[in-house]
Amino acid sequence: MNMSKKTVRDIVKMKGSEKIAMITAYDYITARLVDGAGVDIILVGDSAGMVVHGFESTHPVSMDMMLLHVSSVARAKPRALVVGDMPFLSYETSIEDAVWNAGLMIKSGAEAVKIEGGSEYADVVKAIVRAGIPVMGHIGLNPQRALLIGGYRKRGLSDVERERIIEDARELEKAGAFSIVIEYTAADVAEEVTKEVSVPTICIGSGPYCDGQVLVIHDILGLTPTPPPFAKKYADLSSIIKSCVGKYVEEVKKGLFPSREHYFYSYERKHSSSST
């Protein structure tokens, strides 16, 4: 495994030669763990709003929340590229807002930003890239537009949608996006997009033909009560956590914890090398 720091250039070069593995993380410890496991990209997703903060959608997520998550992940100094997700209303209101907020992501430790939307945000992508900030696009299902499109529904099933998604990808590439996430879109459409653009595509729920895959960490660890249908559960951490904490509660109630190695007496001070 190549252990050098992943850059945007490295990610672009992976198209056609090596699949890209991207996963979300929202804090220092998780970032260290997923980085140690060899991911290429850590996405500090606005999915934090749902899986960490318990909101029902990503709409309530603010820049302040995202900056806290981004800086926490960045302190892990991961080898993987750190991408900060631009939350709802951080880039839609004006080009100035978009560039400013993308800049705040970089100042907090992100090395690129992700923006939901296709050709309608090409000017925004262009302006952010002009400011020197790499942009990852996000097409197909855009959860931030769920109210407009009728919920979290499959994309690319009609000819109109298919053409729109392919056009969105072309426009994002032209605007300077270095990669494009394709969410919950028919696999054949994602395949066509992948062939159509020269930048890497990264699928979530859009089949095997993209240049990479991304999933939400809580979904693969079995921590999400209602994971999306396309997520694969690699572990059942919910059961493990419940069992560990249950044991702790039981031991506290029975007076079994703490045991002798977990506490000290004042008269041990003279003999302890760690006392000050």
Just list the catalytic residues: 183
Q: Is 204 in the site for ligand KIV (CB under 6 A)?
A: yes
- How far apart CA 225 and CA 274 sit, in angstroms, is 44
Which residue, 24 or 224, is less far from ligand KIV as judged by CB? 24
Q: Which residue has the tokens 């969105």?
A: 168
Q: Is 216 in the site for ligand KIV (CB under 6 A)?
A: yes
**Interface with ligand KIV (CB under 6 A), residue from 214, 220, 222, 224:** 214
**Interface with ligand KIV (CB under 6 A), residue from 40, 85, 173, 219:** 85
Q: How far is the CB of 249 from ligand KIV (least distance, A)?
A: 32
- How far apart CA 103 and CA 191 sit, in angstroms, is 32
- How far apart CA 3 and CA 38 sit, in angstroms, is 9
Q: How far is the CB of 142 from ligand KIV (least distance, A)?
A: 9
Which residue, 58 or 104, is less far from ligand KIV as judged by CB? 58
Residue whose C-beta lies closest to ligand KIV: 45
The DSSP annotation for 48-99 comes to HHHHTT--SSSTT--HHHHHHHHHHHHTT--SSEEEEEPPTTSSSS-HHHHH
Q: Which of residues 13-72 bind ligand KIV (CB under 6 A)?
A: 24, 43, 45-47
Q: Is 175 in the site for ligand KIV (CB under 6 A)?
A: no
Which residue, 48 or 104, is less far from ligand KIV as judged by CB? 48
Which residue, 57 or 238, is less far from ligand KIV as judged by CB? 57
Which residue, 234 or 248, is less far from ligand KIV as judged by CB? 234
In sequence order, the 6+-apart residues with CB closer than 8 A to the CB of 163 are none
Total of chain residues touching ligand KIV, rule CB under 6 A:
10
Q: How far is the CB of 62 from ligand KIV (least distance, A)?
A: 14
- How far apart CA 46 and CA 21 sit, in angstroms, is 18
**Interface with ligand KIV (CB under 6 A), residue from 21, 180, 181, 193:** 181
**Alpha-carbon distances of 118 from 94, 150, 159, 168, 263, rounded to whole Å:** 16, 17, 17, 4, 58
Sign of the dihedral defined by the CA atoms of residues 78, 214, 21, 238, in that order: positive
Site string for ligand KIV, 130-169 (x = CB under 6 A): ----------------------------------------
Which residue, 37 or 244, is less far from ligand KIV as judged by CB? 37
Count the Cβ atoms, other than its own, within 10 Å of residue 204: 27
Cβ atoms 180, 138 nearer than 8 A: yes
Q: What angle do CA 112, 118, 114 make, to 5 degrees?
A: 15
Cβ atoms 220, 234 nearer than 8 A: yes
Q: How far is the CB of 259 from ligand KIV (least distance, A)?
A: 41
Interface residues with ligand KIV (CB under 6 A) are 24, 43, 45-47, 85, 181, 204, 214, 216
